[in-house]
Structure formats: C-alpha cells, structure tokens
Amino acid sequence: MSTIPELHIAPSLLASDFGHLADAARIVEEAGAEFLHFDIMDGSFVPNISMGMPAVKALRPVSRAFFDVHLMIMQPERYVEDFVRAGADSVTVQAEACLHLQRTLAQIRRAGAKAGVALNPATPPEVLEYVMDDLDMILVMTVNPGFGGQSFLPAMLAKVRRVREMIARTAHPIHLEVDGGIEPETTGPVTAAGANVLVAGTSIYGHSGGVSEAIHLLRAAARSEE
C-alpha cells in the first residue's frame, strides 16, 4: 500500500499572454502554484511551434517555482543539456520521440535535472516497465499533444490508475502528472485515479475569475485515491 504524494499545480504557460510571460510566471507563483509548465514544440513531433530555451532562461530569475519542461520535440536528446542550463528542474521527453529512451533519461539526470517521460494517449504504460528506476516523473497525456484547450480523454483514467500501480511497486518516489483538458470537472476523477501533478493551461490562465481563484478551484476539486 503506497500513499499518494502531495498534490502540485503546474500552470501551463502555453495558455498565457506571450507578450507578458514574466507576469504570467509571477502571478501563478504568488497564487501558490509549485510548478511552472513549459510546453516546447518543434512543428515536427507536433504540428505546432511554441517556445524554446530562451523563454526558460528569461523566466528563471523571476520565479522560484519548479520548472517543469515538457519537450514535444523529435530526438529530444539533442537539447537536454541546453534546457537544464537554461533553468529546467525537470525535463520530460515523449516516449514516442526517443529511439533510446533509457539513455536519454540517464542523460537528463546526469545533466542535473529530474527525468520525466510523457505518454501519448495511444501509448501503453508498459513501455516504461524496464525504465522505472531511471525516471522521476510520468506524464500521462490526457489529450493528444500540440494544442491547449482540448477536451480531456476519459479513456486515460484507466491508464492513470495503471501507472499509479506501477509506481507503487517502485522503491523511489515518482510524480504522476496529467496534462490536457484539466479543469475542476476532470480533476476529481483524475486525482482519484492517482495523479498528483496537475498541468492546466486554459482552466488557469483563461479563468474569468483570475488565476488565484482557478488554482483554488482545482485544489478543491482534487480527491485522494479511494
């Protein structure tokens, strides 16, 4: 029997005003978010292009949050050291974009960051079975990566439960993060299934009552595993 680690909110800058990124980073930290989620897209692994190392570097001096860098790029091993140097606390690579996943995870840790793996909706968690000792975070994509504002895929709840079981069998702590369509309505089921890091873009930066109220609503909607 394992206990679910503490809940963390990870606002995704993708949904913020890119003209005021520093303000976007500051207001969510002030509102109590422990993580700041960077969506890095290359126009190849996903159709969209977003931001790169310079954005991480520019925000490092204005925030003490845990910089959670999600690489939606092909062959991410080419940029691991650059992102860590820019200020990433964790680097999460898409399993589908890595030919030699174990090597890339070891590379991330060697560079001094926590190592994460993200799984597309169609990717089974079993691909991680033999690299569990090499990772610190598993990101279950609850939409297909590439764009903010999409709807949560309910079929991912079973995957979150399965990943939580896999984590319970490992000897070291591993965060279970979910990303895509996370809002108060989906937070209850996903946290009950075992997620403990909630990435949210639209439901935080697009909330009409402001980011502080949005973060409060997400926390209030979270449930511990039954």
Active site residue 39: yes
* Other residues' Cβ atoms within 10 Å of the Cβ of residue 11: 30
Strands 90-94 and 114-119, how do they pair?
A: parallel
Shortest Å, Cβ 139 to Zn ion: 7
Q: DSSP readout, 34-61?
A: -EEEEEEEBSSSSS-B---HHHHHHHGG
- Here's the x/- map for Zn ion, 32-61, by CB under 5 A: it reads as -------x----------------------
> Helix and strand tally (H, E) in the chain?
8, 8
Shortest Å, Cβ 194 to ligand DX5: 19
With CB under 6 A as the contact rule, the residue among 4, 65, 66, 70 that binds ligand DX5 is 70
CA separation for the pair 83, 142 (Å, rounded): 24
Catalytic residue among 17, 39, 82, 136: 39
**43 near 74, Cβ under 8 Å?**
no
Residue 189 site contact among ligand DX5, Zn ion, none (CB < 5 to 8 Å, cut-off depends on kind)? none
Q: Compute how many residues bind Zn ion; rule: CB under 5 A.
A: 3
**201 near 153, Cβ under 8 Å?**
no
200 is an interface residue for ligand DX5 by CB under 6 A = yes
179 is an interface residue for Zn ion by CB under 5 A = yes
With CB under 6 A as the contact rule, the residue among 174, 179, 187, 222 that binds ligand DX5 is 179
Active site residue 89: no
- Phi and psi, residue 196, nearest 5°: -125, -5
Kindly provide the residue ranges of all beta strands, DSSP E only, lying in 7-131, ordered along the sequence: 8-11, 35-41, 66-72, 90-94, 114-119
Stretch that binds ligand DX5, among 82-90, 93-101, 200-208, 218-226 (CB under 6 A): 200-208
68 is an interface residue for ligand DX5 by CB under 6 A = no
Q: Which residues contribute to the site for ligand DX5 (CB under 6 A)?
A: 12, 14-15, 37, 39, 70, 143, 145-150, 179-182, 199-203
Which residues participate in catalysis according to the annotation? Answer: 39, 179
